[in-house]
Amino acid sequence: MPTANDQNMGQIYPSLYPPRPLAEIAVLSQALASIGTEQTFQPGTEINAIRDNEKSLYLFAEGYFSVIRNIDGLVLSSVRGELVFGIAECLRPRGGWFLKVEETCTARVVPADQAFAIFTQQQLWEPVASLLSWFIQIYSLREEHLVGVSAYVMVRNKLIELHSLAPDLRCNINVADFIQERTQLARSTIMAILGELRRGDYVEIKRGKLLAIKLLPKEY
CB 202 within 8 A of CB 217: yes
For residue 197, give its domain range: 149-213
The CA distances from residue 7 to 4, 24, 167, 181, in Å, are: 5, 28, 12, 26
For residues 174 and 126, state if they share a domain: no
| Domain end call among 121, 145, 169 | 145
**pTM of the predicted model as reported, rounded to 2 decimal places:** 0.87
Q: What span, in angstroms and rounded, lies between the C-alpha atoms of 38 and 56?
A: 12
Per the structure, the count of domains in the chain is 2
Q: What span, in angstroms and rounded, lies between the C-alpha atoms of 4 and 193?
A: 26
Alpha carbons within 13 A on the beta-carbon side of 157:
19
For residues 153 and 206, state if they share a domain: yes
* Confidence (pLDDT) at 14: 60
* Confidence (pLDDT) at 12: 56
Helix, strand, or coil here: 51? Answer: strand
CB 70 within 8 A of CB 95: yes
* Confidence (pLDDT) at 124: 98
* Confidence (pLDDT) at 106: 97
**CATH classification of the domain holding 112:** 2.60.120.10
E strands within 13-152? 37-41, 46-47, 50-51, 54-60, 64-69, 75-80, 83-85, 97-101, 105-111
Tens of pLDDT, residues 71-113: 999 999 999 999 999 999 999 998 889 999 999 999 999 999 9
Q: What span, in angstroms and rounded, lies between the C-alpha atoms of 45 and 36?
A: 19
Q: What span, in angstroms and rounded, lies between the C-alpha atoms of 37 and 96?
A: 25
In a domain, 11, yes or no: no
CB 100 within 8 A of CB 49: no
